[in-house]
């Protein structure tokens, strides 16, 4: 009797969880539409900017962190304008997972290509490549020799000393 009752409660819990999850997803997408800004809002143009994005974490569940990073970069580029944003993306540690994932993920690869076409620069820490035994030219997406720097932290420090604003997403 006890086992049957536990089994029924388990199934009921799963069904309630599924209903709650569907309701949460539905409410999230509905609220995004309701909160959209009116099309008549305009913003002043930004002055040219220099920014270094220091990426040290992996992609998280289903690569959501990679997608988030590339979305933030795209929004930054769109806000300031191509040619007016000098952006350097320095990847070290688990941050290099972005270029590993992009090799087999067309959506990430396309987003990276668009950012590169608009002037973004992606660089990778040599120390991380050595420590993790990564061969950049075969295991990573579109990595060239000029994208590899001696040390990620040293690169970030140098860029900040040259007037780049430090950003960590």
Strands 165-167 and 85-91: unpaired
> Is residue 99 within 8 Å of 122, Cβ to Cβ?
yes
CATH value of 49-167 in 3.40.1260.10, 2.40.160.10, 3.20.20.70, 3.40.50.300 = 3.40.1260.10
User: Best-predicted range by mean pLDDT among 21-30, 59-68, 136-145?
Assistant: 136-145
**CA diameter of the chain:** 73
Contacts of 116 (CB under 8 A, 6+ apart): 122, 142
Angle at 92 between CA 102 and CA 118, to 5 degrees: 50
Query: Residue 32: is it exposed, middle or buried by C-beta count within 10 angstroms (0-12/13-18/19+)?
Result: exposed
**What whole-number distance in Å separates Cα of residue 30 and Cα of residue 22?**
12
The pLDDT confidence band at residue 76, using thresholds 50, 70 and 90, is very high
For the chain, the domains span 1-38, 49-167
Asked whether the predicted pLDDT for residue 79 surpasses 50, the reply is yes
* pLDDT tens-digit series, residues 1-41: 444 455 555 555 555 555 555 454 444 444 445 567 677 88
Proportion of the chain above pLDDT 70, given as a percent: 79
């Amino acid at each position: 009797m006890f086992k049957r009752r536990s089994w029924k409660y388990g199934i009921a819990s799963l069904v309630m969880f599924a209903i709650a999850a569907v309701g949460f997803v539905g409410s999230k997408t509905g609220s995004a539409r309701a909160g959209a800004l009116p099309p008549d809002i305009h913003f002043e143009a930004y002055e040219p900017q220099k920014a270094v994005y220091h990426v040290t974490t992996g992609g998280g569940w289903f690569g959501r962190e990679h997608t988030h990073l590339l979305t933030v970069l795209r929004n930054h580029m769109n806000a300031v304008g191509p040619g007016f944003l000098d952006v350097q993306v320095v990847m070290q540690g688990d941050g290099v997972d972005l270029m590993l994932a992009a090799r087999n993920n067309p959506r990430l690869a396309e987003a990276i290509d668009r950012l590169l076409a608009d002037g973004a620069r992606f660089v990778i820490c040599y120390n991380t490549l050595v420590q993790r035994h990564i061969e950049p030219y075969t295991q990573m997406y579109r990595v060239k020799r000029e994208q590899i720097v001696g040390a990620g932290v040293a690169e970030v420090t140098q860029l900040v000393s040259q007037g780049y604003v430090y950003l960590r997403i």
